[in-house]
Amino acid sequence: MSETASLNMQDIPQGQLPEHIELQRARVFCKADAPVHTEDVEYSGAYAAVGFDNSLQVDDFRRDFRVEIKNLSMDDIEFDMIGIDASLANAFRRILIAEVPTMAIEKVLIVNNTSVMADEILSHRLGLLPIEADPRLFDFLSENDTPNERNTIVFKMEVHCKKRGPRLTVKSDQLKWLPNGSELLMESPNPSTKPRSFTSFSCSQASLPQISGRPIGMKHLDIIITQLGPGQSIELEAHAVKGTGKVHAKWSPVGTTWYRMLPEVKLLKEVRGNDAEKLVKKCPRKVFDVEDVGHAMKKAVVSRPRDCTLCRECISGAGEENIALRRVRDHFIFTVESTGALPAEVLFTEAVKILEEKCERVISELS
Amino acid sequence: MEHGSLTDSKNSTFCLMDEDHTLANSVRFLLNKDPRVEFCGYSIPHPSENKVNIRVQTTGDSAKDVLKESFQDLIFLCQHVRSTFEKSVADFKSTQSRQEMNGA
């Protein structure tokens, strides 16, 4: 006796989804008033009734996943990630912003500050300066650690504006790296002992093999920190340590990083003649072009769907039914803008590594 | 770390300390894609506490094993993403330098 499922209909082939359901699964629809079918169907058995397996096999992922680099410069990268779910793309984005470590000024020892800018505001501004130092070469400084050459970078700034001279603009190039550590001495309760400095470096950082090739300094030398009037001066020491963006945004390695799903613009009906011209004019991103089809006839074509911002200008008003605006659910246009400590492509691989480490930690805790 | 009943291994709630949406949402996605999982969800009980609760209900297998395998799958996925990405970057750089050489 053969069993027949109640949903086993002759016109729906087993093992694949009907066209409109497949479209809902793979696309987000952008309608004139609001987007629809935005939610992803995650559950593995969601389409079991039509014999479609919605589970994720690691081998299938390996086969289908693609990365296409679109743009790569010193600090920026734009690439397409195809065949991945939003939850993972978002995890990479969140880790890039909040959990990839960098070095930033955390402690400022002010010897003298007669400028109009208060100490704490000056310190805050110093903290936000991007430092060109590979954070992978440094350790985190815990509460009980003493600052040493493995976890602290020391900068010194001594600027003075001459009396009866013009005002002086203090820029980030005034911060000088001290590879031997702090030059300021701690006050000691016992005057006979040798006074210690605020750091205890066992050797010069410049002599460390990992650092010697690339001296540490400011990423940008032209950032304005403050201005000094005639006779004013600043003398300070700034200690940079390793940290992550979730503690303070100054440690975030990216200016920002974001992704968007690939826009898909489809002409459902042929748009001809005057309507085609109108459609081209309507689009502020110049997504459409007019093509000659002979016999003095013109038709609209979609030539730059990637530029579409889904502003919905083309589906407002007349001709709305001719165009479908969608987003491809598993195609992400990912952009990373590095602040300069590490190149953008290295930041992304570091972010993926951090997610792996998180998993490893939980697995070991579960065992 | 883990709470749930001692007699019923197929339904469990796991509490992960020092984690947030980053990990919980990724692993929820993988768990939901696992045919052995009947239900999976996560919640952050309080925004100022750094912990997440992950609920796993399976059709029979041990929830703990299924969760562990999902984390293992997540590692495989990440490794593949990383190697694919690194290869694409290397390819892009080599074609770029070739173009520069041809241009010069």
State whether residue B48 is helix, strand or coil.
coil
The runs of H, that is alpha helices, within chain A are: 19-26, 58-64, 86-98, 119-127, 209-212, 273-282, 344-366
CA dist., res. A80 & res. A69, Å (int): 6
What tens digit of pLDDT does each residue of A232-269 get?
999 999 999 999 999 999 999 999 999 999 999 999 99
Show residues of chain B in contact with A95, CB under 8 Å: 22
What tens digit of pLDDT does each residue of B88-101 get?
999 999 999 998 88
Q: Which CATH architecture has domain B2-101?
A: 2-Layer Sandwich (3.30)
Any idea of the CA torsion for A310, A315, A317, A321, to the nearest 10 degrees?
Answer: -170
Question: Is the Cβ–Cβ distance between A177 and A208 less than 8 Å?
Answer: no
- Residue B95 gets which letter from DSSP? H
Beta strand A217-218 pairing with A176-177: unpaired
Q: Which two tokens stand for residue A253?
A: 């390695």
Q: Which two tokens stand for residue A186?
A: 């701690």
Nearest Cα to Cα of residue A323 among A359, A279, A284, A364: A279
Domain ranges of chain B: 2-101
Structural domains of chain A ordered from first start: 25-46+58-100+253-367 (3.30.1360.10), 102-250 (2.170.120.12)
Of B35, B93, B96, nearest to A55 by CB-CB distance is B35
Mean pLDDT of A196-202: 89
Look up the ipTM and state it: 0.95
The CB density around residue A43, as the number of other CB atoms within 10 Å, is 18
Does residue A344 carry a pLDDT above 80?
Answer: yes
Q: Give the distance between the most distant pair of CA atoms in chain B.
A: 73
Mean pLDDT of A141-152: 91
What tens digit of pLDDT does each residue of A23-72 get?
999 999 999 889 999 988 899 999 988 888 899 989 999 999 999 999 99
Nearest Cα to Cα of residue A268 among A254, A256, A252, A279: A279
Q: Which two tokens stand for residue B27?
A: 């692993």
Minimal CA separation from B66 to chain A, in Å? 11
Chain B residue at shortest CA distance from A89: B26
pTM exceeding 0.90: yes
CA dist., res. A349 & res. A4, Å (int): 50
The single residue listed with the structure tokens 């030059």 is A183
Show residues of chain B in contact with A67, CB under 8 Å: 81, 84-85, 87-88
pLDDT, position A1: 43
Q: Which two tokens stand for residue A297?
A: 């006839």
Of A1-15, A127-141, A249-263, B13-27, least confident by mean pLDDT is A1-15
pLDDT, position A319: 74
Question: Is the Cβ–Cβ distance between A219 and A171 less than 8 Å?
Answer: no
Residues 23-82 of B with CB under 8 A from A: 23, 25-30, 32-35, 37, 64, 67-68, 71-82
Nearest Cα to Cα of residue A79 among B71, B88, B97: B88
Amino acid in position A99: E
Does residue A8 carry a pLDDT above 70?
Answer: no
Mean pLDDT of A133-149: 92
pLDDT, position A191: 75
Provide the pLDDT confidence category of residue A4 given band limits of 50, 70 and 90.
low
Higher-confidence residue: A320 or A342?
A342
Cβ of A44 and B33 within 8 Å? yes
What percent of chain A stands above pLDDT 70? 96
Higher-confidence residue: B52 or A194?
B52
